[in-house]
Amino acid sequence: MKHIFVLNPVAGRGDAEKKLLPKILSALKNSDLEYEIHRTLNKGDATRFVKDRCLLAKNEAQRFYAVGGDGTLNEVVNGAFGFEHVEIALIPAGTGNDFPRSFSHPEYFLDIERQLAGNPRSIDLIRYNDSYLVNMLNIGIDCAVVARTAELKKKPFLNGSSAYLAGIACVFVANKAYQMSVTLEDGSVEEGEFTLLAVGNGAYCGGGFKGVPKACLDDGLLDVSMVKKINRRTFLSVIRKYHDGTHLEPSKTELPIKYIKCRKLTISSHERLQICADGEISKEKRIDLELLPKAIVFSVPKGVE
């Protein structure tokens, strides 16, 4: 098997290259593995590179390590999907690093020796329109916070969860709701103003917020959390629970939330909605989502379940 490291040199403010690359090279030096290292040049380069390598390799077994954040992983997945004899892995170097949180021992994802000895595991994938995502799609406040957080992370004193919390504070002031229509698998429709909507394969977003706490990476189902418009007081009372993943539990504060598991759904709006797919921002009027069961092979570090 050939081990190919797709490194985003700007991930984690340069940590991918400054801190992780020396560790990767040191581990490879003590092995007899065939490997290649590719530094991405710009947005979309990882997808193009991985797809080209898959087309050239034919039946050669390859493992692509996304060395970067969740966005880098998303690009690698979109390049590798549909090809046989291909595994995906993640060495997290972003500021959120949410995807590893869905596994036991997320700290092992930074252990290069454990990564090289990783074990393949088939996991689900979400198709949305003509693209794919491995972790979560967010619309509403969640998405607005991600967009704001991306700006705040440029500040030298903010990163990870602290930047996300600052993003929440900024978006909270506006208290904006989003007009949407959600058509579920059984034909029923949820319509109105929503504070947020999350569709998850993994459970975490925003640097550790457990937005869809019942999500499982290989159960063949989407986890959908829909929160109708809430006021600022309610928002403040549940934000800690939303972080901890306990917001579905009964409490004195009634949260207008609908949480379901399904295989597909459609989200639409009269205006283009800002969506966040694995941390990547775009705008769409209609989003068709479908769960693809065990669609990719993900290599988990040795000792991770």
| pLDDT tens digit at each of 305 positions of the chain | 999 999 999 887 777 888 899 999 999 998 899 999 999 999 999 999 999 999 998 789 999 999 999 899 999 999 999 999 999 999 999 877 899 999 999 999 999 999 999 999 999 999 999 999 999 999 987 777 777 766 666 665 555 556 666 666 666 666 678 899 999 999 999 999 998 899 999 999 877 889 999 999 999 999 999 999 888 788 778 878 888 898 888 765 567 889 999 999 999 999 999 999 998 889 999 999 999 999 999 999 999 98
Match 């709006």 to its residue by tokens: 269
Read out DSSP for 257-274? EEEEEESEEEEEEEEEEE
- Cβ–Cβ < 8 Å for 256, 227: yes
Residue range 2-125+295-300, CATH number: 3.40.50.10330
**CA–CA gap between residue 85 and residue 56 (Å, rounded):** 13
Roughly what angle, to the nearest 10 degrees, separates helices 160-174 and 141-152? 120
Q: What is the CA radius of gyration of the chain?
A: 19
Model pTM?
0.90
Cβ-in-10-Å burial (0-12, 13-18, 19+) of 84 comes to: exposed
> Are the CB atoms for 50 and 79 separated by under 8 Å?
yes
Helices (H) and strands (E) in the chain, counts: 8, 13
Any idea which fold 136-293 has? Tumour Suppressor Smad4 (2.60.200)
Domain residue extents for the chain: 2-125+295-300, 136-293
